[in-house]
Amino acid sequence: MYVIVMGGGRVGLNLSSFLISDGQDVTLIENNEELCSKAAAELDAMIICGNGTDTKTLEEADIKGADVFVAATGNDETNLLACILVKDYNVPKIITRISDHTHAKAFKNAGIDFAISPELTAASYLEKIILRPKIADLVVLGKGDAELLDVSVENNKVIGKKIGDISPTRDYIIVSVHENGKITIPMMDTIIERGCKISILAKTGSIKKVIDLFT
C-alpha cells in the first residue's frame, strides 16, 4: 500500500513510523525544513519539503498512485484544503486529522468521511482504561456502541464451562481464544480454563457485566 502523509509533526511522524514498520510505502510531505530534517533522520521514507496544498507538491509525491492520503497537520483549514485538492485525483481513501471537533461537519460536507481527532480518541481510550482496569486490551468499534475486549479469565463461575454454554448472548459473543501465542476460533465445546485469554465482542452498555462475569 502506498500512503502519503501530510504533516511531519508528532501525529504525522508517529503514523508514518507505524506504517513503515508494517511494511507500507510512505511519503511524508512537510513544509517546515526543521521537521523535514528530523523526519529524514528518523524515517525510511521519501520526505518532500513542500506545501501539501500545492498541486505540484502533491504530484511530486505521486498522488495519482496513492492508495491513501492522510492530512495530519494541526491546522484544520490546511487539512481541509488539501483533502479537497486530493479528491480530484480519485485517491481511494482520504483521512484527515481534526483539532477542533466542531469542524467535523465541514469535512463531511466536503465529502471527507474519515475525520479523526487523535486527542479525543486518546482521551476516550484512557477513560476506558481507568474505568475498566481489568481489561487487557480494548478496541472501540463502530460508533462506540460495541467494544472488542481481551480478557484473562479468573472467575470460577465460568472456568471449566463450555463456550457454547455461555456464548453467544444478546450482550456479547466470545470470538477467539488465545492459546500458546496463537489465536483460535472457539468451538461450542471449547473449555474455558483459568487464566486463558479470550476476545469478546460486547455491547458498550454491557461491558461491566461482561467483565464481572469473566474476571
Q: What is the pLDDT of residues 37-62, one digit of tens each?
A: 999 999 999 999 999 999 999 999 99
- Check: CB of residue 116 under 8 Å from CB of residue 125: no
Q: 147 pLDDT band (50/70/90 cuts)?
A: confident
Would you say residue 183 has pLDDT above 90?
A: no
Distance (Å, whole) CA 100 – CA 130:
25
Would you say residue 136 has pLDDT above 80?
A: no
33-37, 115-119, 191-195: the lowest-pLDDT one: 115-119
Task: Give me the percent of the chain exceeding a pLDDT of 90.
Answer: 60
pLDDT in tens, 84-117: 999 999 999 999 999 888 898 899 899 887 888 8
Q: How much is the pLDDT for 122? A: 65
**Residue type, position 56, single letter:** K
Q: 191 pLDDT band (50/70/90 cuts)?
A: very high
Please say whether the dihedral angle defined by the alpha carbons of residues 11, 104, 129 and 161, taken in this order, is positive or negative.
negative
Q: 180 pLDDT band (50/70/90 cuts)?
A: confident
Task: Give me the percent of the chain exceeding a pLDDT of 70.
Answer: 89
Closest CA to 91 of 62, 125, 49, 63: 63
Q: What is the mean pLDDT of the chain?
A: 88
- Check: CB of residue 189 under 8 Å from CB of residue 129: no
pTM: 0.65
**Assigned C-alpha cell, 18:** 507505524
Q: How much is the pLDDT for 207? A: 86
Residue with cell 521519501: 46
Q: How much is the pLDDT for 118? A: 77
Q: 78 pLDDT band (50/70/90 cuts)?
A: very high
Q: 126 pLDDT band (50/70/90 cuts)?
A: low
- Check: CB of residue 117 under 8 Å from CB of residue 103: no
Would you say residue 181 has pLDDT above 90?
A: no
Q: How much is the pLDDT for 137? A: 65
**Assigned C-alpha cell, 158:** 465460568
Q: How much is the pLDDT for 129? A: 61
